[in-house]
Amino acid sequence: MRQYIASILIEFVIAVGLASPSVAADAGAKALYEKSCAGCHGADGKGNEKMATVLGVKDLSIVGKETKSKSDDELLKVLAEGRGKMPASKYTKEEQKQVLGYVRSLAK
């Protein structure tokens, strides 16, 4: 019985170890988003109404049909270069891809 429990614990530790990089990447992407994007787009991606008013824009949501319909390349270009009142990102291309992945996860 002890051997059985020990083998289950070992399998669990291995499984958690294998999952950790993706969990860490997700946490890193969320941190990047929260640092530079959430102030305007909201923690949930639905937009910060107060910032929309301050900026004089209609909507800051990034989880709607318009964003979902854009390709990854289109959205990466917006992240890299900015658009309208949104400044260009100072993140690396890899970090921009992480943020894009996080934004896509918010839209689900």
Q: What is the mean pLDDT of residues 56-85?
A: 95
**CATH fold label, 2-106:** Cytochrome Bc1 Complex; Chain D, domain 2 (1.10.760)
More confident residue, 17 or 59: 59
**Could you give the count of Cα atoms lying within 13 Å of 57 in the half-sphere of its Cβ?**
15
CA 100 – CA 67 distance, rounded (Å): 11
Nearest to 102 by CA among 35, 53, 54, 49: 35
CB 39 within 8 A of CB 48: yes
Is the whole-model pTM more than 0.85? Answer: no
pLDDT given at position 108: 82
pLDDT class of 71 with cuts at 50, 70, 90 = very high
pLDDT(17) > 50:
no
pLDDT digits (tens, 9 = 90+) for 25-54: 588 999 999 999 999 999 999 999 999 999
Please name every residue paired with 86 in a beta bridge, in sequence order, or none if there are none: 83
Residue 75 has pLDDT above 60, yes or no: yes
Instruction: Report pLDDT for 22.
Output: 53
